[in-house]
Structure 1
Amino acid sequence: MSVISEQSLRGESLFTDLSADSEHWRPDEIDSLCMNCHRDGTTRLLLTRIPFFREVIVSSFSCPHCGWADTEIQSAGRIQDQGVCYTLRVRTKDDLNREVVKSDSATTRIPELDLEIPAFTQKGALSTIEGLLDRTVTGLEQDQPVRRALDPETADKINQFIQKLKKLKDVEEEFTLVIEDPSGNSFVENPVAPQKDEALTVTRFKRTTEQDVQLGLRAEDDSVEEPAAPDIEAMRNEVLTFKVNCPECNAPASTNMKLVQIPHFKEVIIMATNCDGCGYRTNEVKSGGATEEQGTKITLHVTNPSDMTRDVLKSETCSVLIPELDFELGMAAISGKFTTVEGLLTDIKDLTVSRNPFCLGDSSNTERVEKIKAFGQKMDRIMAGEMDVHLVLDDPAGNSYLQNVYAPEPDPEMTVETYTRSFEQNEDLGLNDMKTEGYQEDK
């Protein structure tokens, strides 16, 4: 049986990147009681890290006596700051092959069939759209023999519903699959990455009190207390430090927070986390002010390598577009950052190329890998000043910024547009009472 080393417990991460190339990668084996025949079986635990899904524990049980087997996937990473909802319009049979990470806290819906699978009624799974349908059919068929004996009428109705589910796999008509996960730890593949997926909509949302209780973030009898008013002047003049657990290895770490004034813009809160145990480093930026009355769309024409040094504040509500590459990065795909144009492009390249989960191990295919590599090469050319492109920051909250190197004079390579948010954008920002209209340019 594999043993967890003392070194791992003292700071080194227990989770290994998901890969088929490691020769020394073995699961831990534990003797376990079989719940079918009540004799000894074996549980194998694999602690691994899937990009975009963070750490997971894959467990597999098998019993040599009765042959019973079971598999399960559980998230071992932290619960994200926001929930996530994936809405996929299934149009062709190819869509059924999309890979899906579904945590046990996710709710699955197919509106056309009025089907809803509530959270915590299925175990977490790494599967495909077709696999999710098959799993649902299997669950419904499991108790059909008993139903036919006790309640034939109900059994017939369920059988008719099962046939409708099976017919979805023929994709004779389009249908919608919705996966809503308040933990933020589910994922649906974009097969045309790094381009925008027209069939897939990803939205992030703030959890309700009930969802926090479900996830164990708050006790049912907890009362919500009004936070004390912060001392703004003290925050401007000092760096605040508070203790946290490292999101990578869970060792004690510290987060530093500072209120910073960006010239010609506004105040922002910069937060940096450092872990001495595993070396994890991260920084994140939060807007120090409220949501603006209008959204902001900033377009930079990248014409010179010196553009890479421009300062950028990308809020967590900001989308990034590069029209020449037909590329769009949705809001919250990268957390809020105060960096440079080169730093932002480097983060985008790392997210779409280096850490793309479907270009690693057994999930990869030659066509997809070559497409992603070609995108990475184009990003390198942009950062070297060898490609003429436009970088667009579209922030419906109006809290993003791109440095004007000619300030206070107008920048000939940059335009700033303000616009009234759409109803959908107001929903994403929790501002449903605001009106919708078109763009108003302010160069």
Structure 2
Amino acid sequence: METRGSTEPLFTDIKAVEDCEPTEIESLCVNCGDNGITRILLTKIPFYKEVVIMSFSCEKCGFKNNEMQSGGKVEEKGGHIVLRVASPSDLNRQVVKSDFTSVQIPELEFEIPAQSQKGEVTTVEGIIDRSIQGLEQDQVVRRIQNPEVACQIDTFVEKLKKLKELQTPFTLVLDDASGNTFVENREAPRQDPAVQVRSFARTKEQDHALGIYSAEERGLLEPSDPGRFPLESLESEVLQFRTDCPGCGAPCETNMKLTNIPYFKEVVIMATNCDLCGNRSNEVKSGGGIEPKGLHIEVKVSGVEDFSRDVLKSETCSLGIPELSLEVGPAALGGRFTTVEGVLTAMRDQLTQGGIMFGDSADPDARQKLDRFLDQFDRALRGDMPVTLVLDDPAGNSYVQSLTPPEPDNKLSINKYERTYEDNEELGLNDMKVEGYEES
């Protein structure tokens, strides 16, 4: 099997398709039973999304087939696209249709039902040609067995062929419950006047056709509490999904787990590990929203038991060590779930990462100051120097484990505070209106 280099991104822009080698797999031909070749290409369509394109060909019998599947998730809403075809360039517009796309031409009262054809990447003219092929497929037998019906189909096929001559404009309507259908926008990124796109909420039947069921339908909700998804159903399960390594861009896996932290809240922990370059990262997201007040936490670190405290640092939390006159902004370390020792080690690593400031060309005095600072930091990491770890989180989504719950911990200080206007501005809260709405 031939594959693309493992250091390349999983999905490649469609403009660069000619520079990419598709994956080739030997597979069974459904027409003659011999082996043919299936070619798979993962690509991105501009102003759309990632798709998986598959093409099969059999050298023995000449059978060919192509198929397209969405490389992303099912959209939250379905998609309804109306295209006015009035020029030859409209016939050449690129069209991506999923398995769940129905196609209509109102002028001919013609419809291709959803799930009657596989998804594909084609053009408007390609949709018409495939429809003609489908109608003509059994015409030889039909003319013998049912001449009247065959004559009607021949008449209709002629009407479809005349559409390509564009004697009069016509309308192409694509309706897709999965929301994964696309018609090329010739005016992108501006709106195309010939294309009308709208979203719609799916019905329960459409959700079921897509394999989407509510938590209650899956039997995951307690009858007495229909509005809440039970945490226990996911706490023991680690979910995995494919992604690209942020370091080298190679395909890798991210593990995700929902965890309930005692005396705090629900959080989502995500960890990514790349086997190719060895890059490892972990990230934590709060399971809830922004808290009403900010949070200021101070923990005194003077012994082994303090280093082992669990710490949840959200992506909005800044860190500090007053004894070392050190402050680290929220963006430096991101969100993570670790220990006090893990936080201190990450802060030190952040300070000693490569750069001209710490290279051979650095000022000798600055280098000496840095060395003295790192010596003090190392003493703190060994427990030889008591320090205070300060976490300040305007969103209120950070946490440090208490060693004496539910009794107060004399080494742990937790205070809530009212956010300033600047804090709310940083969190984007000043532009949000969350109350005072009236029903129209």
Q: TM-score, normalised by structure 1?
A: 0.51
Q: Is the 8 A contact 1:60 1:72 kept in 2?
A: yes
Q: 1:156 Cα deviation (Å)? A: 0.5
Deviation string, structure 1 residues 66-101 (Cα, Å, up to 9, x no partner):
222222222232111111110112222322121111
Rounded Cα–Cα distance in structure 1 between residues aligned with 2:198 and 2:88: 24
Q: Is the 8 A contact 2:94 2:183 kept in 1?
A: yes
Rounded Cα–Cα distance in structure 1 between residues aligned with 2:144 and 2:136: 14
Q: 1:3 Cα deviation (Å)? A: 5.0
Q: Is the 8 A contact 2:255 2:270 kept in 1?
A: no
- C-alpha distance 246-166 of structure 1, shift in aligned 2 (>3 A): same
Code of the residue aligned with 2:58 in structure 1: it is: C
- C-alpha distance 63-122 of structure 1, shift in aligned 2 (>3 A): same
Please name the residue that 1:185 is paired with. 180
Q: Is the 8 A contact 2:17 2:43 kept in 1?
A: no
Q: 1:186 Cα deviation (Å)? A: 0.8
Please name the residue that 1:328 is paired with. none
Please name the residue that 2:406 is paired with. none
Q: How does 1:148-163 map to 2 (within 5 A)?
A: 148-163=143-158
Q: Which of residues 122, 129, 141 is equivalent to 2:124?
A: 129
> 3-state DSSP class of the match of 1:145?
helix
Please name the residue that 1:18 is paired with. 14
RMSD: 4.3
Please name the residue that 2:255 is paired with. 252
Rounded Cα–Cα distance in structure 2 between residues aligned with 1:140 and 1:275: 52
Please name the residue that 1:2 is paired with. 2
Q: Is the 8 A contact 1:109 1:115 kept in 2?
A: yes
Code of the residue aligned with 1:121 in structure 2: it is: S
Q: Is the 8 A contact 1:147 1:154 kept in 2?
A: yes
Please name the residue that 2:87 is paired with. 92
Q: 1:57 Cα deviation (Å)? A: 2.1
Q: For structure 2, list consecutive stretches of 5 or more residues without a partner in the other structure.
A: 230-236, 245-252, 260-266, 275-280, 291-421, 423-438
Q: Which of residues 8, 26, 30 is equivalent to 1:31?
A: 26
Code of the residue aligned with 2:14 in structure 1: it is: L
- C-alpha distance 148-84 of structure 1, shift in aligned 2 (>3 A): same
Q: Is the 8 A contact 1:89 1:199 kept in 2?
A: yes
- Bigger Rg, which one: 2
The structure whose RCO (Cα within 8 Å, separation 6+) is larger is 1
> 3-state DSSP class of the match of 2:114?
coil
Please name the residue that 2:202 is paired with. 207
Rounded Cα–Cα distance in structure 2 between residues aligned with 1:51 and 1:188: 11
Q: Is the 8 A contact 1:78 1:247 kept in 2?
A: no
Q: 1:21 Cα deviation (Å)? A: 6.6
Code of the residue aligned with 1:161 in structure 2: it is: F
Q: How does 1:163-178 map to 2 (within 5 A)?
A: 163-178=158-173
Q: 1:179 Cα deviation (Å)? A: 0.6
Q: How does 1:10-409 map to 2 (within 5 A)?
A: 14-20=10-16, 23=19, 25-218=20-213, 222=217, 228-229=226-227, 248=243, 251-253=254-256, 276=272
- C-alpha distance 43-135 of structure 1, shift in aligned 2 (>3 A): same
Q: Is the 8 A contact 2:256 2:268 kept in 1?
A: no
Rounded Cα–Cα distance in structure 2 between residues aligned with 1:195 and 1:55: 21
Rounded Cα–Cα distance in structure 2 between residues aligned with 1:3 and 1:169: 39
Q: Is the 8 A contact 2:104 2:112 kept in 1?
A: yes
The number of aligned residues is 268
- C-alpha distance 91-273 of structure 1, shift in aligned 2 (>3 A): farther
